[in-house]
């Protein structure tokens, strides 16, 4: 590791002048840094900021988070997606209380061993909170380094990852590793953007191999895309004369574990989903039908919501079903695909924004 790289000083100067004011910046509280890092994985800064402030208010310390019920944590997370992040956050908070007396661990290996914390998050916390010399490589840093050094190996291949990790360590400012890591990420977020990077205003363009060869758009090189699985969900929303309906908690190891949903029938194809619709339509009185396409990282969900008026709720004793008034739905955490339907559909009022 060396501090002599000319890129490092230029980057640091640029960061001092151009960095965004964000509520977790300039904090050395490892709990706050951890929260912000986990929330901002897969989430835009403007959306993530509201959730960050909400978490800090609801759970001011690791101990507060650890002692909260999982349902409360998932409810606070509602709308952010990738719910395993919230479950891991909660599990890690409990481990910090059980194993470290509620004090956030201060060495890299201990931080890295916590549930849900990978190389990137461990390096970010270790460098920003404790000034430890670990380079944090997220998607932004990957892109910046792949362009700076015109890395020919795909960035998602083992060789590409190794090369980028080594170069990130080489560039690291060991005197101010936290600032340096944030500067790299900020450059990727504000200047070296995925499309149309603003090279003219880039502080390190004279060092950038992709810029010099006018090949910014050719990097980073990526391997083939991950295969996406299509799934066909039909949610059956029964509403009886007392304005009561049925929901259940998703307990199985699958997407949205721990969240709630209406009775679900999963089909193998869109054809099977249509057959199911025809069959339900002949048995019950249809109030409303809506279709949504919901895209997750590896799954494409074709979701149909069918709401029916019924005299008596069917399946009320089926599979841990909860019976409740529709105006009580707000008390439960639902996946975003369902809150989207609930805010669009007639007669419901559920929001998926932080409250």
Q: Would you count residue 145 as binding ligand SF4 (CB under 6 A)?
A: no
Rank residues 216 and 234 by Cβ distance to ligand SF4 and give the closer one.
216
By CB under 6 A, name the one of 32, 90, 134, 147 that touches ligand SF4: 147
Q: Report whether 154 contacts 222 (CB < 8 A).
A: yes
Q: Would you count residue 324 as binding ligand SF4 (CB under 6 A)?
A: no
Please report how close the Cβ of residue 185 comes to ligand SF4 at its closest, in angstroms.
13
Rank residues 146 and 301 by Cβ distance to ligand SF4 and give the closer one.
146
Q: Would you count residue 301 as binding ligand SF4 (CB under 6 A)?
A: no
Query: Three-state SS across the chain?
Result: CCCCCHHHHHHHHHHHHHCCCCCCCCCCCHHHHHHHHHHHCCCCHHHHHHHHHHHHHHCCCHHHHHHCCHHHHHHHHCCCCCCHHHHHHHHHHHHHHHHHCCCCCCCHHHHHCCCCCCHHHHHHHHHHHHCCCCCCCCHHHHHHHHHHCCCCCCCCCHHHHHHHHHHHHHHCCCCCHHHHHHHHHHHHHHCCCCCCCCHHHCCCHHHCHHHHCCCHHHCCCCCCCCCCEEEEEEEEEEECCCCEEEEEECCCCCCCCCCEECCEEEECCHHHHHHHHHHHHHHCEEEEEEEEEEECCCEEEEEEEEEEECCCCCCCCCCCCEEEEHHHHHHCCCCHHHHHHHHHCCCCCCCCCCC
Rank residues 43 and 216 by Cβ distance to ligand SF4 and give the closer one.
216
Rank residues 111 and 204 by Cβ distance to ligand SF4 and give the closer one.
204
Q: Would you count residue 183 as binding ligand SF4 (CB under 6 A)?
A: no
Which residue is catalytic, options 16, 37, 169, 266? 37
Q: Would you count residue 38 as binding ligand SF4 (CB under 6 A)?
A: no
Residues 118-137, mask of contacts with ligand SF4 (x by CB under 6 A): --------------------
Rank residues 159 and 201 by Cβ distance to ligand SF4 and give the closer one.
201
Specify whether 37 is catalytic.
Answer: yes
**For residue 223, what are its two tokens?**
């391997």
Q: Would you count residue 49 as binding ligand SF4 (CB under 6 A)?
A: no
Q: Would you count residue 40 as binding ligand SF4 (CB under 6 A)?
A: no
Please report how close the Cβ of residue 208 comes to ligand SF4 at its closest, in angstroms.
3
Residues 188-217, mask of contacts with ligand SF4 (x by CB under 6 A): ---xx----x-x--x-xx--x-xx----x-
Q: Would you count residue 255 as binding ligand SF4 (CB under 6 A)?
A: no
Q: In this chain, which stretch among 6-14, 127-135, 142-150, 276-284 interacts with ligand SF4, using CB under 6 A? A: 142-150
Residues at the site binding ligand SF4, with contacts judged by CB under 6 A: 144, 147-148, 191-192, 197, 199, 202, 204-205, 208, 210-211, 216
Q: Which residues are catalytic?
A: 37
């Amino acid at each position: 590791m060396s501090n002599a790289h000319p890129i490092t000083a230029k980057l640091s100067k640029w960061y001092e002048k151009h960095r965004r004011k964000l509520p977790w910046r300039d904090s050395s509280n490892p709990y706050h840094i951890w929260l912000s890092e986990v929330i901002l994985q897969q989430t835009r800064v403007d959306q993530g900021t509201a959730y960050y402030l909400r978490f800090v208010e609801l759970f001011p310390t690791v101990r507060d988070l650890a002692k909260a019920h999982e349902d409360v944590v998932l409810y606070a997370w509602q709308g952010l997606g990738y719910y395993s992040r919230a479950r891991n956050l909660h599990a890690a908070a409990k481990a910090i209380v059980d194993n470290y007396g509620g004090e956030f661990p201060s060495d890299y290996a201990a931080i890295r061993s916590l549930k849900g914390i990978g190389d990137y998050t461990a390096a970010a916390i270790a460098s920003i909170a404790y000034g430890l010399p670990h380079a944090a490589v997220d998607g932004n840093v990957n892109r910046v380094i792949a362009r700076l050094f015109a890395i020919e190996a795909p960035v998602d291949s083992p060789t590409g990852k190794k090369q980028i990790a080594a170069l990130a360590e080489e560039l690291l400012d060991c005197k101010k590793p936290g600032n340096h890591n944030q500067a790299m990420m900020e450059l990727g977020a504000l200047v070296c953007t995925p499309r149309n990077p603003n090279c003219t205003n880039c502080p390190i363009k004279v060092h950038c191999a992709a810029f010099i060869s006018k090949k910014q758009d050719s990097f980073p090189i990526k391997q083939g895309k991950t295969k996406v699985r299509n799934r066909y969900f039909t949610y059956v929303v029964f509403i009886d004369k007392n304005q009561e309906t049925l929901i259940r908690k998703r307990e199985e190891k699958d997407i949205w574990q721990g969240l709630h949903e209406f009775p679900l029938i999963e089909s193998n194809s869109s054809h099977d989903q249509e057959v199911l619709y025809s069959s339900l339509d002949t048995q019950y009185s249809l109030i409303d039908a809506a279709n949504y396409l919901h895209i997750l990282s590896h799954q494409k969900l074709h979701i149909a919501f069918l709401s029916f008026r019924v005299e008596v709720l069917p399946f009320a004793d089926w599979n841990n079903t909860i019976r409740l008034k529709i105006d009580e739905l707000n008390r439960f955490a639902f996946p975003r695909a369902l809150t989207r339907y609930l805010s669009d559909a007639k007669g419901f009022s559920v929001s998926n924004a932080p409250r």
